[in-house]
Structure 1
Amino acid sequence: MGLLHMFSFLGTSTASKQIAVSVVCQDPEKVPARPPQVAPHQRVLLLRGPKQPYVEVSDHPTPSLDGNREFLVRNLVIGLNPIDWKAPDFNFGIPELPYISGRELVGEVAISPKRRSRFRPGDKVIVISTDYRDLRKAAYQQYVVATDFNAARLPPSLAPEAGSALGVAFVAAALCLGICAGLDFSSIANGPNLLSIVRQIDPARLAPDVRDECLHGIDEESRAKKGDWLAIWGGSSTSAFMLNQIARLAGLRTISVVDVRKHAVKLSTNDITRPDIVVDNHDPQRAIDIVRSATAKRLRFGVDTVGRDTAGHLLECLQQHYANESDPEPTTPSTPSSAHLIGLTGLPKSSPPANLTFHNVPFKLFHEIPELGETLMLWLERLLSTGLLVPPKILGVEEGFGAVNQALDRMRRGEVSGGRLVVRLP
């Protein structure tokens, strides 16, 4: 019998009041949540094949929960990502067909986890799904399965639309800087030291394809630290937007290579989001020369968010760091000589030259190592609630699953840049 029905049945007798008081005074952690009426079927968007539009269906099974850390979320707002159109167009990242896409959303907790949890029915949460092989966790459906270590509570001050558009980029930036560059976030709102966390766990828990990056990608001496330069090529993307903010919070100096005509004003309007230096990307060789000059040939870290060609441009910027041993301003003995190129979407085909390391971001750590995922989500909550992290600009809000294909077409045509599109669900 539900709690409200029980109160109605008992009436207002003295006995009923005692029972009511006893229920209310229980530890809320131990009061079982009354599960909502969740239908066995739901509306979803399905991808039936490469180069095809998503198709809305109304009778797809509602996902079920597995394990005591999963909970069910009623979807409210979906954040659209470039991968949502690139995967079907170029036929990658689709493990099965039909496929459900979507990597991030804001929703309302419908069924809380079985274990003791900070998430309760009715809570608004940011859900981030890097586990693209588990279709239960995909965003293009009415009900989504989330794990308690891959979700964050939405601060009351943040609109659901804004919260739905930042999660994947935040995780990418945090892993890029915290693992690949070795940056310690402990000075920022009690943030995590991700590299130390990963290197203290059993190596057997790390997937073979990311193990070497986690354990040997960068040595302790070479880890990024306050005062280092970070060059970001493609500084207008949401990942770059997050990279710049987190890096500057940690005391790094940032230089963003972007289309100045389109994005310079937007990047310069907020002290939190403003890079230290903005360089126009129109002439790549000129941009390389400016980056080299501006960083006084002491650039050791570069992150590319565009693709293999621009990663090659960053490689040229980084090689200047150690290429000329007769440089009148050589690195000091206390300055590590190695340089690091991190690719979010690709790296140069050639092998890295001596003293330079290529890095791939180990995204799967977020959903495969619970203690790492959870510490990132708790840190995200603190950053957002204190205003230290600014969400990306929302360039458009569409309504309903039927609007997704049209919105993705806008992204295909390059009409969306410097912000995000989101889709609100009824």
Structure 2
Amino acid sequence: MSTTTCLQIEEIHRKPSTFHRKIFSETTPKPLVTTTVKEEVITQTPLQAKQRVLLLKAAREQYTLVDDHHVPSILHPGEFLVKVLAIGLNPIDWKGPAFNFGIPSLPWINGRDLAGLVLQVPNESSRLRVGDIVLVPSTDYRDIRKAAFQEYAIATDFNAARIPSSTSIHASASLGVAFVAAALALGVSFGVDFSRLTQSPGPNLVNVISTLDKKNIPVDIQDEIFAISSESDRPQPGDWVAIWGASTTTGLVALQLAKLAGLRVICVADVARHGAKLLQSGADLLVDRRDTERAVEIIRGVTGGKLRYAIDIVGKETAMLLERTLDPPNNAHLLGLTGLPKDRVPGISYHTVPIKLFHTAPAVGESLVTWLESLLQSGVLTLPEIIRAEGGLEGINAALDVLRSGEASGKRIVVDLESHS
């Protein structure tokens, strides 16, 4: 079977029905995933010592399927065991091995996004229960137990969000890391107060951070999170924010969170391919990415040269273009997810997403996942459009080739493990 024929596009709408919880093959749809089925899975799943994993044995090589790897153990308070049902693929999953970064040691298990079934919980007081279906953003990539490319994984209760029964498990599996990155970018780096939202209010992350003990926070993100500007310097309803790479999952989520907070959003993307989706998600202005000089000119023209907030999700070159749209005398802010200009302009504050905060600060992690649960339950958040790859763990190498090729632009590839368990 070719890599293209094993992939199917699943449209996810603003209010998905239970229809989207079906697990499809290329021929006949399988029955709905119900609570009864989940309970049966729990009773039939032995807590065995071995499992199948996708192992990276050397840099610049494909992943290798191994069927005798140990099942990860619960080691710390608040941890729980999850049976992986779906895996959301991220560019880092192929870029890490290809360019030999983000790999703590070898052999290693990768994977940042998963959805699964809770099999064991820390204690009776845990906010999670056995049988819950959860999405888990695995930002703690140095802990191999928490990686997604395996049949069973460990997570912490403050880093998992329950998936409502009306929401697609597979689309949810693609959402986690993107949501965390977007929420931290807006709520921590820029200081947006999500508690003021009229729909599904979230946390005021600036206030949450003020309660943290600095010595418990990784040194490399302390400057980012403890140097938050004064109230007057934080985005206010009606302010503009520009997002370059808005058609990415992180861009799409950032757009929606910014709109919920009352901001006006400029989306830079391939307008012909993704403009309709971005408009449906609330974009105030679309700017085509193909003519970069014209894009800079349009952004400056629309904002009167007074733009103060910009997010780049593409790379250093586009971050440099966004830098030119900002107004340094007005205390501007530029956040880059994948790179920032080397030379800094006075009057512009440069930011990177403090992703470690999600798994090192329980108060931050829990505030984000409980907010995400509320957003999913209310249907306020539009989920990514996904491409579902079949073949289980064995299909991940082929799916990553599709991701690398760029064929999945504007969509997320999700690998189904449930039908291969």
**Structure 2 length-normalised TM:** 0.87
Matched, 1:283 2:275: no
Instruction: Tell me, in whole angstroms, the C-alpha distance in 1 between the residues paired with 2:100 and 2:230.
Output: 36
Kept in 1, the 8 Å contact 2:241–2:309? The answer is yes
Please, which of 324, 336, 341 is the counterpart of residue 343 of structure 1?
A: 336
Kept in 2, the 8 Å contact 1:299–1:317? The answer is yes
Instruction: Tell me, in whole angstroms, the C-alpha distance in 2 between the residues paired with 1:114 and 1:51.
Output: 41
Instruction: Tell me, in whole angstroms, the C-alpha distance in 2 between the residues paired with 1:371 and 1:200.
Output: 9
Kept in 2, the 8 Å contact 1:398–1:423? The answer is yes
* Aligned residue in 2 for 1:176: 185
Report which stretch shifted further, 289-298 or 55-64: 289-298
Query: SS of the residue aligned with 1:149?
Result: helix
List per-residue Cα deviations over 1:121-163 (Å, max 9, x = no partner): 1111111110000000000000000100000111111011111
* Aligned residue in 2 for 1:369: 361
Any gaps of 5 or more consecutive residues in structure 1?
1-32, 324-336
Distance apart, 1:266 and its partner CA = 2.8
Distance apart, 1:115 and its partner CA = 5.6
Please, which of 194, 216, 223 is the counterpart of residue 205 of structure 1?
A: 216
Relative to 1, partners in 2 of residues 1:322 and 1:349: Cα closer, same or farther, differing over 3 Å? Answer: closer
Query: SS of the residue aligned with 1:158?
Result: coil
Relative to 1, partners in 2 of residues 1:195 and 1:416: Cα closer, same or farther, differing over 3 Å? Answer: same
Q: Which has the higher contact order (CA 8 A, sep 6+)?
A: 2
Please, which of 232, 238, 241 is the counterpart of residue 243 of structure 2?
A: 232
* Aligned residue in 2 for 1:332: none
Query: SS of the residue aligned with 2:224?
Result: helix
Instruction: Tell me, in whole angstroms, the C-alpha distance in 2 between the residues paired with 1:136 and 1:339.
Output: 40
* Aligned residue in 1 for 2:135: 126
Matched, 1:196 2:204: no
- Residue type matched to 1:37 in 2? P
Instruction: Tell me, in whole angstroms, the C-alpha distance in 2 between the residues paired with 1:306 and 1:76.
Output: 30
Matched, 1:359 2:351: yes
Please give the residue correspondences for 1:208-223 in structure 2 after superposition, counting only pairs within 5 Å.
208-223=219-234
Please, which of 387, 390, 398 is the counterpart of residue 406 of structure 1?
A: 398
Please give the residue correspondences for 1:109-148 in structure 2 after superposition, counting only pairs within 5 Å.
109-114=118-123, 116-148=125-157
- Residue type matched to 2:389 in 1? V
Distance apart, 1:36 and its partner CA = 5.8
> Identity across aligned pairs (percent)?
49
* Aligned residue in 1 for 2:62: 53
Kept in 2, the 8 Å contact 1:299–1:339? The answer is yes
Kept in 2, the 8 Å contact 1:69–1:115? The answer is no
Kept in 2, the 8 Å contact 1:232–1:304? The answer is yes
Kept in 2, the 8 Å contact 1:35–1:111? The answer is no
List per-residue Cα deviations over 1:38-69 (Å, max 9, x = no partner): 11000000001111001100000000001220
Instruction: Tell me, in whole angstroms, the C-alpha distance in 2 between the residues paired with 1:310 and 1:409.
Output: 25
Instruction: Tell me, in whole angstroms, the C-alpha distance in 2 between the residues paired with 1:214 and 1:267.
Output: 29
Query: SS of the residue aligned with 2:389?
Result: strand
* Aligned residue in 2 for 1:3: none
Query: SS of the residue aligned with 2:286?
Result: strand
Query: SS of the residue aligned with 2:192?
Result: coil
Any gaps of 5 or more consecutive residues in structure 2?
1-41
Kept in 2, the 8 Å contact 1:300–1:339? The answer is yes
Kept in 1, the 8 Å contact 2:245–2:251? The answer is yes
Query: SS of the residue aligned with 2:195?
Result: coil
Instruction: Tell me, in whole angstroms, the C-alpha distance in 1 between the residues paired with 2:124 and 2:79.
Output: 9
Please give the residue correspondences for 1:208-357 in structure 2 after superposition, counting only pairs within 5 Å.
208-268=219-279, 270=280, 273-318=281-326, 321-322=327-328, 337-350=330-343, 352-357=344-349
Please, which of 370, 377, 382 is the counterpart of residue 378 of structure 1?
A: 370
Instruction: Tell me, in whole angstroms, the C-alpha distance in 1 between the residues paired with 2:44 and 2:228.
Output: 46
Kept in 2, the 8 Å contact 1:199–1:214? The answer is no
Kept in 2, the 8 Å contact 1:68–1:114? The answer is no
**Structure 1 length-normalised TM:** 0.86
Query: SS of the residue aligned with 2:127?
Result: coil
Query: SS of the residue aligned with 1:317?
Result: coil
Question: How big is the alpha-carbon RMSD for the aligned residues of Structure 1 and Structure 2?
Answer: 1.5
Distance apart, 1:34 and its partner CA = 9.0
Query: SS of the residue aligned with 1:49?
Result: coil
Query: SS of the residue aligned with 2:238?
Result: coil
